[in-house]
Structure 1
Amino acid sequence: MSSEPFFRPVIQTLFVLLFSFLSLASSDELQALLTLKSSLKDPSNTLVFDSWNANNSTCNFSGITCDLTTNLVTEIELSNHNLSGSVPFDAICGLQSLEKLSLGFNFLSGQVIEDLNKCVSLKYLDLGNNLFSGPVPDISSLSQLMYLYMNMSGFSGTFPWKSLDNMSNLVELSLGDNPFDRTPFPNGVLKLTKLTVLYLSNCSIEGTIPPGIGNLTELTDLELAQNFLTGKIPVEITKLQKLWQLELYMNELTGELPVGFGNLTNLQRFDASTNFLTGNLSEVRLLSKLTSLQLFENEFTGELPPELGDFQHLVNFSVYRNKLSGQIPQNIGSSSQFNFIDASENFFTGSIPPDMCKQGTMTELLILQNNLTGKIPESYANCLTLTRFRVSNNSLSGEVPRGIWGLPNLGMIDVAMNDLVGPVTSDIGKATSLAQLLLSDNKFSGELPSEISKANQLVSLDLSGNQFSGEIPSTIGDLKQLDNLYLQDNTFSGSIPDSLASCDSLTIINLAHNHLSGQIPVNLGSLSTLNSLNLSDNQLSGQIPWSLSSLKLNVLDLSNNKLSGLIPETLSIDAYNGSFSGNNGLCGNNLNNFPKCSAGSGDSKELRKLLICFLGLGIVAMLVCLACFWHLKKKSLKGQNRSWRENSWDMKSFHLLSFTEDDILDGINQDNLIGKGGSGNVYKISLENGNDLAVKHIWNSDPDSKKKEESTTTMLPKGSRKLSEFEAEVQTLSSIRHVNVVKLYCCITSEDSSLLVYEYMPNGSLWDRLHTSNKLVLDWETRYEIALGAAKGLEYLHHGCDRPVIHRDVKSSNILLDELMKPRIADFGLAKIVQCNASKDSTHVIAGTHGYIAPEYGYTQKVDEKSDVYSFGVVLMELITGKRPIEPEFGENKDIVSWISCKLKSKETVLSIIDSAILEGYKEEAIKVLKIAILCTARQPTQRPTMRTVVQMLEAAEPCKLVGIIINKEDSYMKKDLKGNDKLQK
């Protein structure tokens, strides 16, 4: 008898049950994914969720993968979509077959709750590069995990290291770049013997590297950088013979490279820089597959292994600030696509290796401050890829190969302090990218070629201490970007070119100890940014121009010339004591060392002009007094302003206004003037409704130029600069809406001038409150809130606008404070909106304020968001120390950043720099923010955090909270930035 009739209904029933189960599961999965969609936002409109709707199968959703048999969701791939919002892990973990959850490189926030522990089928979890907060929850149930990425995700507190005990299948583990609590090396990791990638950089691990690291023999990538690791590199690390990358930089490791380190023959990238390692580099000779070797800032001694010259793949080599000696292998870089060498600040001898650019790929040659001899190799004259050439402070001789002067991509030539001879050739006119030309203290001679004016990106020109002769080229005024000019201690002759006044970015002019003659150009007084002028020890004659009185000079030295006549009264002050000595023809009524001026002394025409000027001022003053007496009432005052009002004005509003154009125009008068800045006067206008406004008045052209011929307006670049600043400010502020960015209500323009109408900030600027006679005693809570608010304003500019806005002049005087001491970022006259077709990372400009300017301004024209981050770090240091960015106590040529870096030797010295006005109980809190300031002011832009990360760190540093960030090294932030993450998260 057949059993088929008996089993048939049973089978049919099972199919019905299975179908019902799958239908129910499908419905649940649809609901889970729709919940995920509703929780996330897609501000970049990547269209990732366009297919996510109830009428579509979940397996057809973009980023979703299903099992082909069951149609259940197995993978969610939503990484790198700029998504924001919080993640509903309770819904996601209801997907019973989910094996992969990839949400990395987004802007996801909020805390990760315990529901994550329910995703028990996960093999791949990526939450890295997000903005989560709070601790990582217990994830011990995720025992199937093979890939775990939580790097740079914003997590803090104590990581649940015990959870890893159940994850014996882990192949890649990435937890770095999170401010976890400090912890000894997690021994549980040493049991994960299947690991191929271990990324624990910058996550507050302390103590020694345990010998058990040698158990992880499958490792190909081990990264433990930027922690608090001490002691020696264990010899057991030599067992990891599959390693292609080993990163140990920015720790406190000591001792020599372990014996047998050369057995790591598969190593391609090795970075142990910024430690305290000693001994020689003989073990490196066997690592022939190296592409990058970074050992700078250690205490290595001895000679470089000659085998380095035979390495076929070496691209980057950096050993600066060690104690290495002997020759640099002469064939280094000759067999590879060599890119970069920095062997500066050692004791190397011999000559410069000639073939590092043999393949035509080298970008930077840095071997300054050694004992090198011989000539600069001719081969570098053809190295068109070079961007930096620095061999200063050696004993090099001979001429600079002609072609080097004109290399098209070279941004810096630094050959100072050698024994070089010969001329600067006309090839310099081809150096269209050159920002710094530093030739001081050599034996260069000949005339400075007029073609130098074609190197129009020059910012710093230092030819001092040479034997240059002839006249200073009259075309030097074409160098519009020039910031400092050092031509002292040469034999230049002739007159000072009038065109020099066209270099309206100049802050320093030093022409001392030459053979210059003629008069001091009157138009030097138009250089409003100039703060140092040294024309001493020349043969200059004639009067001191009265126009110099308008300059705010920290240094003025006109001594030992042939000047005569009256010393301008405004220059006859103690600050310039000695500035005029050695000029026997000078007289002054306020200086003891000079004879009194007689009635006939000086230039009678100047005196007559002065008398006429005073008479005119007296008449004007009398008329003003009569006008004020006659027009006491407001109606009459409006009549007084009729001529002002008769201009054709155009008003553009950006907010709902409670005032009229007339209200603003009536308020532009001397009584309401509250400040003068580089881009215009500022007035406070009180409205009848009790509200106050701040109005910046910018002349579109120099008002004194109206009577001059049109042909002379090119000599007044100041007006056009102000106009461009006005346009930049309007363009930037009109589209910005943020509580920590000053509000621009409207702009009012005419043919002659422009008005910007802002909200009024009654507490002035942060600079005023910290450094001037109006300073306040700010408690730490107030300083912290100012820091956090200003950071959020900058974060919005960099990350919250349609296109990033680079402020380019972040400083305490541009952080304004409202009645509640809440900060507003202000003064966008130098701001730059990054255009879609601009270079990826930067805009080419040199801008900012001394003391706040990032160090890369000195060797490149690339200015990006990281330059703002540096300036903000300086502001944090002001808040913490109460000191200005530049103080005499810091020492010559030092600023607050270098001063603080010298104070990080012990906790006592760190505490000593905290402002005494901060209560003792809050000094530990201030140190947390100091750590962030140090990260922000790292020398290399790539080592600085983004403003988004700065805000996260500041929020974690809220008083009474702990943040685990390195303090003991100046350049202590993510040396590779997202490098590790890019590699780990495919």
Structure 2
Amino acid sequence: MSPYKAHGSDGYGPIFFQHYCPIIGQDICKAIRDISVIEDLNITVDHFITLSRTWDEHALALVVPPSVVQVTKVVGLSSLKELWENVPPSWNAFRDPCGDHWEGIVCNNTRVISICLITLSSIGLKGKLSGDIQQLSELQTLDLSSNKELTGSLPEAIGRLSKLTNLILVGCNFIGKIPDSIGSLSNLIFLSLNSNSFSGPIPSSIGNLSKLYWLDLAENKLTGSLPVSNGTRPGLDMLHNCKHFHFGRNQLSGAIPPQLLHANMTVIHMLLDNNKLTGSIPSTIGLVNKMEVIRLDWNSFSGFVPSNITNLTRVTDLLFSNNQLTGPMPDLTEMSGLNYLDMSNNSFETSDVPSWFTTLSSLTTLIMEATQIQGDVPDTLFSLPQLQKVVLKKNRLSGILDIGDSRSSQLRVVDLQNNNISSYTQRPKNSDVQLILVGNPVCSDTVTTQRYCILPQQSNVSYSTPKNCAPVCDSNKVSSLSCHCGYPYTGILVFRAPKFSDLENVTYYKDLENTLMTSFKSYKIPVDSVSLSNINRAPSNYLEMTLQVFPLDHDRFNRTAISTVGFMLSNQTFKPPPDFGPFYFTANGYTTFAEQSVPGSRKILSMTAIIAIAVVGAAVLLVPLCIVTIICCRKKRSIKTVDPDNTFAASWMSPGSTTSTLPLAGSRVFPLEEIKKMTNYFSEANVIGSGTYGKVYRGTLTNGQLVAVKRAEQGSPQGDLEFKTEVELLSRVHHKNLVRLFGFCLEKGELILIYEYVPNGTLKESLSGKSGIRLDWRRRIKVGLGAARGLAYLHELASPPIIHRDIKSNNLLLDEHLNAKVSDFGLSKPLLDVGKGHITTEVKGTMGYLDPEYYMSQKLNEKSDVYSFGVLMLELVTGKAPIDRGRYIVREVRNAIDRTQDLYGLDEFLDPSIGLGSELKGFEKYVDFSLSCVEESGVDRPSMGEVVKQFEEILQMAGLNPYSDSTTSSGAFGHGNSRHLYGDESLYGYSGQLPR
């Protein structure tokens, strides 16, 4: 018997490991130990070592029993399992990924060929992608989408997965450069790295991927130019078979190389919006005659629009807005298929209204704001059969406006504000059209009551999938369209170039719902119904909506079903109706998995559905693929006990039970003993803040993650109701600009909240100099934009809408990149009756920030938050508290403002650390908008959605991309002490309930 074999054992013994583990590596040794069933080999140990080092499974298979071939599979997967948290339970329960059916692992001839891990942003996979992934040599599909806690860089070793066809990492948090080795994946068809934090240039090696069909690098922090080949290196111009170039929302710069675009290209979607691209649009664009969607908006392109762009007769969406284009406006007569046209905010030569406007018979949307057109508006324009929206504001249009009797039945909006129109011919048939003529001579009479002379209030899209019943669902279940209570799989569908603008037209959404259900049914995925809601056209012209997918015949999905639905959406197997255009999907949290069926008898969903989706997706691309997928999701947290004597905990418990049902998904009930351990038994050394509520402690979870533990003192004025409010609201709202709640504790009379640890403290601390962080002008705008986005989410996307009621600098936290997070929801109120528009409630808030209209009337609505936010905006630039030595900041600024001077004459009010006057680009716009937020009457204030848009424009004026999170906390920021959620509120004046 070999001296390396253990006596009486089928496996290798201690001597083997002692001598050879340092040579072959601990991973291989661990795998051999775990298997411990290796048979006698007809090769020497040295030969085995050599073969193992090459990781050549095919060679090993010739001389080594199948159980040894298993080594290479286990090593790669074990490495991932060791680096990742929240892997599926079966990964811990079985040793053989194939024979024992590890969840998410699909094998072919005993080799692991595909891993597709789709979990959820708040509870999903945590960790990094190991270079040991290269050991899975048969891997064809890798999908790690919607794992927002997967971070780190993409390893160079990814380039050794020579059989990879699908690499999908949408919506994670990967950082660093995209490795050049990705150009070695010669079989790659789908490359989706969008919605991460990748930085650096686009690797020119991607040009080697001759089979590439889908290239999506959007919504990252990529810089540099678009790479093209030069004889010694490849470039994007070599991707002749690629149909999708998605590069929007990055920081790309330089000109579009003329060489990039040529007649051999088959690109149909070219999305370069929201970058820093400059130079002229190359005339070679007219050679790519298969293009259907072109987005070059929100860049700095200059020069003329190439005249041969009219060769692109298949284009349906053309967006050139917000650039610096000059010369004559192009004649687009030949582009008869145009649905959506936006060339706003350029510097074209002054011209009469183009005659070709009226020839575009397919047009739904015409947006030509500030394009120097003049003359009369032809009434025939409004007769285009599919026309829905016309925006021609800030031009030189004149004469009499007549929409005509033969206008399109789909026309909903005509916005001609700030022109020279002298009169309007009213016709009864046009009463349902929203006409805006503010800023025209026709509205010069200040006492006019005509509807078209009043700016309309921005309204949210009211559509949500109708239900025929309203059953009362227990816990956090939701009623499906067929009236079954369950836990839906939820996420955000984003359409980058929809062909329509009438967001109130339910026909579009019905078509989308029907198409989704048809796709799910065709692959036998157990879906009961789907629901759409929160329809929103973002400032970037992206159409966003919430999608809920409900389980069939059960109240919850298992992991395999979630994996299948997610993969179907992430790898573009699902094809939306033509009106919606290119899309992507990111998933939200799903914590209520059904138990997986016994291996080999998956009753809820067979893995064949996943394989079918992959195969059909490959067939669409005419490529013989065999793509498979898996899902790794967080273990469902067990429900902890709560104190049944607590006065409000009973509302979270089942009748006659002491077990909490949890107010909503996303929060965990922590045992008091566990909290004591994480805070070292509430050690004073761990105190990081205090206030009227109690103390805040630094804590450490068992996985090493830092948290902030907020413990109420007995008799605190912020008691049970505010505690309950905060838990319930933060458990159901999730946004990067809202502080995250991990959980709470109710044991033994304690009221404890566990939040994410936000390292750079409150905005108040930074403005006061306490934190040591310096905020210059651009960083302050960035902070304001983040806070505005968080509030806009509460007002416009939460259902029902939520009014924060205590917006102030002490409730605004700054993370490690100085991104803002809104906190402290103890005073928040849901607007349950949206139709009523307000709620009548006891006045609470903080003096100085409080809306005077709410204080007088006790009627609370979203505009109350807008007022508080306006005060915060003034505090951001002055660094002064709202009430300072008896002086009210709003009144002081209003009295001092002089619009004839630079910086409106407010130099003495500015915080000295904000920067020099010449650096404060957009300051005047900022001040004007701040004052509009603090108007006495709520109807005169903007919505938070409008606030976000204004902040984005100001940020661009200041030279930053509003869709980038590039602000960091190093260098000039300084180094403060450890930060915390709640500082000593006594330092900042009164906080809490106001006297009545």
Higher CA-based Rg: 1
What's the TM-score, normalizing by structure 2?
0.48
Q: Which has the higher contact order (CA 8 A, sep 6+)?
A: 2
What's the TM-score, normalizing by structure 1?
0.48
